[in-house]
Amino acid sequence: MSLSRSDLEAGNEQTRLLEPSHSGIKLTTLSEDELQRSLDEILQQQPPNSDIWIFAYGSLIWNPLITYVERRAGIIYGWHRRFCTWMILGQGTPENPGLLLGLDRGGSCRGVIYRIAAADVPKELLLIWRREMLAGVYNARWVRVFDGTQEFKAIAFVANRQHPRYADRIPSTTTINSIATASGKLGSCADYLMRTVDGLTAEGIKDKKLFLLHKQVLAKQQALLASSGSTQIKTSE
């Protein structure tokens, strides 16, 4: 099951996160008023009634769920794509958490930018805020994006290093095992990785580290299946 636009419009994502799991864990999320204030604060840094660009580097590439008028590939500097936040819902559970992609400090990151028309900004950005900012694992900030010929100012969602679920300097074996085995209400963490790899490939974007991680996760899954006597990897629909 993938997140849908209707979920965001109805606020279902907040309802899902606020429901205690069978382990009794309940997440703290931002209220609708807090989300709106956060959105208003970042929009104050942009001229009113102007189009807005959004930088996508993970699921926003392959499942954007927003209305936009232009899409193009671009690169940002000073940030890199990394599985750096533990995910206990969505594609993970408290007992077997997955990992969520974020932008962490240093390096560079190739992704996709979407241009949202000024008239659509209030509605479309609120949907994005409900999706990306609800749990507090990201900070929204303005970044400079280059497409090879032009520079754009875009909103990006970077890892909140102060959040208790921020995953700092975890061993690669832990990353591989978590992604290979974790799943939740929105599918498996491995499928989240695979869709991101496929989305980047479709855009002609190469991320050697992420593509290598994908191969390592597949190998780990094959090894686990072999040890259990099965021969086929199951992916979420």
In angstroms, the CA 50 to CA 120 distance is 10
Strand 70-87 relative to strand 98-116: parallel, antiparallel, unpaired? antiparallel
Cβ-based neighbour number of residue 117 at 10 Å: 14
Task: List the one residue out of 172, 179, 175, 180 whose CA is nearest residue 223.
Answer: 180
Asked about 13 being catalytic, the answer comes back as no
Side-chain-side CA neighbours of residue 185 (13 Å) = 15
Task: List the one residue out of 88, 63, 61 whose CA is nearest residue 182.
Answer: 88
In angstroms, the CA 166 to CA 84 distance is 6
Complete DSSP assignment for 77-114: EEEEEEEEEEESSSS--SSS-EEEEEEEEEEEEEEEEE
Exactly one of 34, 95, 132, 203 is catalytic; name it: 132
Note whether 131 and 7 are within 8 A (CB): no
For the purposes of burial, counting CB atoms within 10 Å of the CB of 154, is it exposed (0-12), middle (13-18) or buried (19 or more)? buried
Rounded to 5°, the CA angle 62-4-175 comes to 55
Q: Catalytic positions, please?
A: 132
